[in-house]
Amino acid sequence: MAPPRQQQMAPPPQQHVASTPQQQGPWGARGAQPQQQMVPPPQQQVPPTPQQQMGYHPQQQMGYPPQQQMGYHPQQQMGYPPQQQMGYPPQQQMGYSPQHQQRGPTPQQQRGPSPQQQRGPAPHQQRGPAPQQQRGPAPQQQRGPAPQQQRGPAPQQQRGPYPQQQGGPALQQQFGPAPQQQRDPQQVPGPVSYGAEAQAVVQQPQRGPQKPEGSRPGSSGDQQEKKQPQRGTPKKDPLPTKQLAKVQISESSDTLKYRDVVPGTEGRRIKIETNHLGLSLGNIEIAYHYDVNLVPDTPKKYLRQVMELFRQQKFPKRYPAFDGRKNLYSSSPLPIDGTMSATIVYRELDGRDKEYKVEVKFANEVDMRGLRGKGQRGETPREALQVVDIVLRSAPALSLTAVGRSFFHRPEQIIELGEGMEMYNGFYQSAIRGWKPFLNVDVAHKAFPKSMNVMDALVDLFASDYRPVSREDLARGLERFQLEKFEKFIKTLKVTYEIPNAGATRRSYRVNGVGEPAAVKKFRPNDGPEVTIEKYFADKYRVRLRYPKLPTLWVGNKERRDKMLLPLEFCTIEENQAVNRKMTENQTREMIRHTATNTTVRKDKIMRALGQARYNDNATVREFGFSVASEFEKLEARVLKPPDLGYGGNRKVSVAKGIWRGDRFVSGAVINKWTVVCADRAPRGDELGNFANMVVRHARDCGMTFTTDAEKPLQIIGNRQNDIKSFFQRSKGKYDVIFVVVPNSGPTYSHVKSAAEINTGCLTQCLKMITLSRKMNQQTVMNILLKVNAKLNGLNHVLLTRPPILNRPCMIMGADVTHPSPDSQNIPSVAAVTASHEPKAFKYNICWRLQPPRVEIIEDLQAIVEEQLMFFYKSNNQRKPERIVFFRDGVSEGQFEQVIHSEIRAIRAACKKIQADGYEPAITFLVVQKRHHTRLFPLNRGDSEDKNMNVPAGTCVDKDITHPFLQDFYLVSHASIQGVAKPTKYCTLWDDNNMSNDDVEALAYHLCHMFTRCNRSVSYPAPTYYAHLAAARAKVYIENENLDMNNLNRERQRFLIQDVIRKDLPMFFV
């Protein structure tokens, strides 16, 4: 193809980014010679209407005029002067001369596909769609689609206005102005943010238009297209994404694609072992499933013992596996014809006999053959895996306290966690499918309520709040906040009630809540005269209550008209009660202190747990023919090379052991007006002034500029909500940033962020009082400045080693859904999605939604993605992402199909909605999992890099213990500060980009180095981390607010973030 003629290029040479290799940016076309890139042949050129294109003409693709920028000057966009704003091709890494930066990559350094690769894979290599759907285009597809492939709609097919967001214009106005609004190319200088692709925007009016699908000569659509060149509007070629992604999500295709996985090869190889034990399933082919019905079916803790008595009575020589609820599995048919039933009498702990009626009937057969070896290609046989799990749980279930997949026992040496809780030790087990079956075993720790008198629990609950307290201190009654804390602690616990010296009065009850004090609450015993509870006990039992002013416990049937209330001094909390509650900060800190051990201690604890379980000696396990290996699985891992990072002054920084030392930011923010205020008690001496001086001094060292000192006087505004609101109202539009000292705990932080970001549009940086008074040093100030610089659109550091997928316009997204604690009520879940909007993948913006509690699927994802695409488009000179990489946190394997069906389809729908003529960016969707129990241990001490004998940062495992037919891997991307490093598990659910294991692993690892808050790699990619922070910020907004749970979308409108924050300072949330 001949190169385009000079007169067709609108900008003059000194302003135009030519389509030669010397000036190509990182998101310019790659591979073929420039003159062949994205320039259709004459007979196939299409000059569409502005409404049919999402992009503007050439001069607007090369950078916004200053007034349109996101709050900073053109030469400060992306942190570079104009000649550096095109990002980092491989040889443009910091340290190269300007001449190198202008020339771009040499031919041998360009990483574009060979002609064979451009034509697409050979037939035997095609795993995906039919040939017409392949993303590797044939030569004629590179020059431009055939007429019948054009997706530009006829005028009558034009989409309607884009949904109004924050009062924005209609879609056509946002994605392409009318011709009379467009200016001559020479009038728009300005830097290129992403690497202008001049070859993709060349106007060639002499070439005949190509008709959209379904149009005919003489149609209105044909006439409209013919008019377009006469208006002088430059046309834009179709997106390269039409060659990148032809796979669509449809009703028939939104399912996991299982295939043979090729492990990665990059990195240094080391030998490791993991806490997975080989699992032999013997010769079993079929397991037999029976339904069990127990009446009553409570209390749950007695059901296993009841079923064991049933087994001994009905089939004493058989050992089926019971799940503790309603399912029974056997290795061969049980002697049951129809339904087998019996009445079992069980003596409970309080000495009473209780009758249970047990019924068992056949349900179905379970095929176990799919678990052998790699098994069959396809979905994991979940029911077969569940059978294995239940069989192996039979060993510890009768003697230990089961909590989910974990088992606990009360330790000989009690570990106090404070506030009425103590720590139990135990172990976790789960059967998993790798390249063969495994049993994953790990240590487990959990907080249990202490078994003690409720009065002592009350004392323990408040002892840590202020000074030590005694029973006598509390005898006068509880204040309101104390009553609320006590009720939250005691609710749902089981207590044993026994009146001293009153005979057989011992009973067990579950607490529903608290009631009025015994000295106040009156009732009519046996329809007699009304008396207080205190007087009733004095008259009937001759017992004087010692604490009649304290609340009573409400127990028994919740539907009963007259509540059953018990004096708490006669109640004792029962032992071994597993409660699913969120621990307090103090309890969490104590648990970490006692459980953070090195790898050697952890392995020893796991082996002791295996000795306790004694799987191979269990009768049920033997009957099924299962056996568990006695040693950890040994395998090979690879240590990936960390990326090189770029800092200010063209300085290259290397990463060692997950840590690096960077000083001057690539782009430092300029702060013209700022102040420091205290929303707590008055600090000691001149702590605020000293902090302000340290900020200015160290900001200069890292490349930030504070043009003035902090505005004096430094104010003490207090922590009352009205005072905080009043201060920010007075400060609206006055400061670039406000440093706010907040109390160590309490709602003040929430009040500050709501008043600043929702009500007034002020940017804040908070720090706790304890940080100001005890921990203020150079490192602390530098950590604070890392966040402040990012919040003010600065650029801390960049990747010099760029993953290939970032060389074209790519939007990296992260998503997370955070749920309320199990004991919370009327609190919604928060879904948050982050997205990058610049080529260095450092800057992100956020969207969040409220949704019903504990709903994991993001319900409004389509609208969120539309919002993110618009932000990307406006931030990048009207360029759309050609690729989307989506990191999704918090999804379990059982939800994979649901996520594909719902969330990936929502992303596709969002792309189609914003451009109805077929915008289809290539999507790669990965799930990021932290809630697992896999640990990796180095076999050789020399392969460890820390005192705890952890594997090195960058250790990756993508075979043996991973799924045999899905692309998944474990990656330890961080250096653990304490304890044993937990790897993050990644699983690719969808991949239009056909990324290899090496590509995906490198991308994930590189993004772990882009978290703005610290100069060390983190445990999972920055976009996912940011999604977690965004959800946490949304929870701060709704903290202590009364929400209408039936109309959460309307409720969210109360917490919309000011545009001056959300749009102009999108990294405000870090």
pLDDT digits (tens, 9 = 90+) for 63-85: 333 333 333 333 333 333 333 33
Q: Is the pLDDT of residue 255 over 80?
A: no
The three-class DSSP label of residue 422 is: strand
Top-confidence residue, 280 or 917: 280
The closest of 835, 839, 792, 821 to 581, measured between CA atoms, is 821
Q: Is the pLDDT of residue 13 over 60?
A: no
pLDDT band at 412 (very low <50, low <70, confident <90, very high): confident
State residue 465's pLDDT score: 52
Q: Is the pLDDT of residue 593 over 60?
A: yes
Top-confidence residue, 1018 or 56: 1018
The closest of 234, 316, 191, 220 to 55, measured between CA atoms, is 234
| C-alpha to C-alpha distance for 774 and 1064, rounded to whole angstroms | 34
The three-class DSSP label of residue 648 is: coil
Structure token digits, residue 714: 């430094």
Structure token digits, residue 880: 């759309």
Which of 157-171, 339-353, 576-590, 700-714 has the lowest average pLDDT? 157-171
Structure token digits, residue 20: 């030669």
β strands within 575-721, DSSP E: 627-628, 633-639, 645-647, 651-653, 670-671, 674-678, 705-706, 715-716
CB atoms within 10 A of CB 38: 24
| C-alpha to C-alpha distance for 639 and 265, rounded to whole angstroms | 10
Using a 10 angstrom Cβ sphere, with 0-12 exposed, 13-18 middle and 19 or more buried, the burial of residue 31 is middle
State residue 281's pLDDT score: 95
CB atoms within 10 A of CB 302: 17
Q: Tell me the pTM.
A: 0.77
Q: Please give the angle made by the CA atoms of 876, 877 and 882, to the nearest 5 degrees.
A: 55
What values do phi and psi take at 83, rounded to 5? -70, -10
Q: Is the pLDDT of residue 911 over 80?
A: yes
What values do phi and psi take at 325, rounded to 5? -135, -80
Which of 34-38, 585-589, 853-857 has the lowest average pLDDT? 34-38
Query: What does the buried/exposed string (b/e) look like for 581-603 if buried means 16 or more CB atoms within 10 Å of the residue's CB?
Result: bebbeebeebbeeebebbbebbb
Long-range contacts of 522-528 (CB under 8 A, 24+ apart): 523/562
The closest of 661, 453, 733, 476 to 575, measured between CA atoms, is 453
Q: Please give the angle made by the CA atoms of 752, 756 and 757, to the nearest 5 degrees.
A: 115
Instruction: Bin 95: left if φ > 0, else alpha if -120 < ψ < 50, else beta.
Output: left
Query: In this predicted model, what pLDDT tens digit does every residue of 828-866 receive, in sequence order?
Result: 999 999 999 999 999 999 999 999 999 999 999 999 999
CB atoms within 10 A of CB 962: 24
State residue 374's pLDDT score: 59
| C-alpha to C-alpha distance for 777 and 783, rounded to whole angstroms | 10
| C-alpha to C-alpha distance for 947 and 108, rounded to whole angstroms | 44
| C-alpha to C-alpha distance for 718 and 276, rounded to whole angstroms | 54
Mean of pLDDT values over 891-902: 93
Give every strand in the sheet of 571-573, ordered side by side: 564-567, 552-555, 507-515, 494-497, 571-573
Instruction: Give the DSSP H or E segment for 957.
Output: strand 955-957
Place of tokens 């240094």: 268
Q: Is the pLDDT of residue 186 over 90?
A: no
| C-alpha to C-alpha distance for 969 and 965, rounded to whole angstroms | 12
- Chain centroid to Cα 1037, Å, comes to 19
pLDDT averaged over the chain?
80
Maximum average pLDDT range among 170-174, 476-480, 902-906: 902-906
State residue 253's pLDDT score: 55
- What's at 776, amino acid-wise? M
pLDDT band at 1049 (very low <50, low <70, confident <90, very high): very high
Binning the chain into helix, strand and coil, the percentages to the nearest 5 are: 30, 20, 45
Q: Is the pLDDT of residue 929 over 70?
A: yes
Maximum average pLDDT range among 145-149, 170-174, 949-953: 949-953
pLDDT band at 203 (very low <50, low <70, confident <90, very high): very low
CA-CA distances (angstroms) from residue 333 to 214, 281, 292, 502, 618?
Answer: 63, 18, 15, 52, 20
Which of 205-214, 652-661, 980-989 has the lowest average pLDDT? 205-214
Q: Is the pLDDT of residue 10 over 80?
A: no
Q: Is the pLDDT of residue 221 over 50?
A: no
Maximum average pLDDT range among 37-46, 183-192, 668-677: 668-677
Top-confidence residue, 481 or 88: 481
pLDDT band at 260 (very low <50, low <70, confident <90, very high): confident
Query: In this predicted model, what pLDDT tens digit does every residue of 313-358 receive, in sequence order?
Result: 999 999 999 999 999 999 999 999 999 999 999 988 767 889 999 9
Using a 10 angstrom Cβ sphere, with 0-12 exposed, 13-18 middle and 19 or more buried, the burial of residue 438 is buried
Mean of pLDDT values over 351-375: 88
β strands within 758-916, DSSP E: 764-768, 798-799, 810-818, 829-836, 844-851, 883-889
pLDDT band at 919 (very low <50, low <70, confident <90, very high): very high
Q: Is the pLDDT of residue 1017 over 70?
A: yes
State residue 16's pLDDT score: 34
**What share of the chain in percent tops pLDDT 90?**
63
- What's at 879, amino acid-wise? R
| C-alpha to C-alpha distance for 1016 and 1023, rounded to whole angstroms | 15
What values do phi and psi take at 251, rounded to 5? -60, -30
